[in-house]
Amino acid sequence: MLPLFPGSADAAGQPATLGVLGGGQLGRMFVHAAQRLGYFTAVLEPDPQSPAGLVSHHHIQTAYDDPAGLAQLAQLCQAITTEFENVPAQALQTLALTRPVAPGAAVVGIAQNRIEEKAHFTACADVSGVGCAPYAVIEMPAQLQAVQDGRADLLPGILKTARMGYDGKGQVRVRTAAELAAAWAELGRGACVLEKMLSLTAECSVLVARGWDGQVVSFAPQRNVHVDGILAVTHAYEGNMPPALATRARDAAVSIAQHLGYVGVLCVEFFVVDDGSAHGGLVVNEMAPRPHNSGHYTLDACDASQFDLQVHALAGLPLPQPRQHSPAIMLNLLGEVWFDASGQRREPDWLAVLRLPGTHLHLYGKTQARAGRKMGHLTITGPDVVSVKTAARRAADVLGLPGLDVS
């Protein structure tokens, strides 16, 4: 039934409605983008106070795999997406029996499992020109022993759970064979991937949007800074990376999306490694089958945001090639910002932040702040990179984020 035109209605008078599994901040921003185009929206999310559920036309408050809830979502909506990769892939498969679903269950399933994800990246490497870090799969004691006996080249490394790891969770750094065995036991002796620890010089990500018809558009790569495994800063401006490296990353991300037959917005994350070359080499790390934290700057610095492209791709509308009109730096606002040095809760000095030139504050409507929780983000735009960096440093100081790398 695609394309699904904005503001349209079916024969029974039901308005064109887009659905999303998940009620977090990514769902909230998708809902806002869809509503700007005139679509009705429906969110399936068990949390009664979810950021997306609170702003949607319909909030189906139930578990992601509840048959009745999925049936209601399919009845309300003409097309459905997801806002996070850990939604049950089976739920997407069920919805796809009667409605267009993007991204599809098979792709989300790959992103949910690091073993399958790395196999896909390896299969793409001949075309994309970018492979992943050396790794080994550990699912049983014999594989652990094989790594200990014959893969000393993977140590020191990082042992990662195959499933449910994000924002630094489900990961243990190991230096020796003994530490590897202990870490595997600590992670429950389940399916894991051991990755060789590389000498990183930078991290970056690329956002790609691909339509049902195979049309592909993308944003320029953004350079990212992580603290304790969680994104802290995104640098989005010309010159944030060597041009040749940026082109390689962009081409590789497009190749990965095409190889998957992907539909929707895809974020591919890369490591820039010190391989002795002038600008370093590029290694693909992981992908997120959805809009991404590192792309939030597009809301304020581009003429089409990642969420606009998500709506266009899902609804079968033409995909505009986004244009960035301003250099930008994005600061993630985690729950720590709401507490002072002694651990006492306090309200951040928003007045001082908003007095700074080019600041755009986005809070997600979450009422409980806690360490590591993504509460919002602050994007700083300006006429040039120098002014943006100056304002970003001042904002970081006001928010109690001293020493944050905004250079």
Asked if residue 168 belongs to a known ligand binding site, the reply is yes
Q: How far apart are CA 142 and CA 169, in angstroms?
A: 25
Asked if residue 286 belongs to a known ligand binding site, the reply is yes
Measured between alpha carbons, how far is residue 254 from residues 127, 132, 280, 310 in Å? 11, 16, 21, 16
Judge contact between 31 and 55, C-beta under 8 A. Answer: yes
Joined together, the tokens standing for residue 185 give 């036991």
Alpha-helical segments (H) within 43-101: 67-76, 89-95
Asked if residue 165 belongs to a known ligand binding site, the reply is yes
Asked if residue 131 belongs to a known ligand binding site, the reply is no
Show contacts of 235-240: CB within 8 Å, 24+ apart. Answer: 235/329, 235/406, 236/297, 236/298, 236/301, 236/324, 236/327, 236/328, 236/329, 236/330, 237/327, 237/328, 237/329, 237/385, 237/388, 238/327, 238/385, 239/385
Q: How far apart are CA 8 and CA 13, in angstroms?
A: 9
Asked if residue 198 belongs to a known ligand binding site, the reply is yes
Asked if residue 114 belongs to a known ligand binding site, the reply is yes
Q: How far apart are CA 378 and CA 337, in angstroms?
A: 12
Asked if residue 160 belongs to a known ligand binding site, the reply is yes
Asked if residue 171 belongs to a known ligand binding site, the reply is yes
Asked if residue 170 belongs to a known ligand binding site, the reply is yes
Q: How far apart are CA 326 and CA 51, in angstroms?
A: 28
Q: How far apart are CA 269 and CA 78, in angstroms?
A: 31
Question: Which of these, 233, 232, 208, 234, lies nearest to 222 by C-alpha position?
Answer: 234
Length of the chain: 407
Q: In 276-405, where do the E strands start and end?
A: 281-288, 328-334, 359-363, 374-381
The residue written with tokens 């003409």 in the block is 78
Annotated binding site for ATP: 114, 160, 165-171, 195-198, 203, 226, 285-286
Which residue ranges make up the annotated binding site?
114, 160, 165-171, 195-198, 203, 226, 285-286
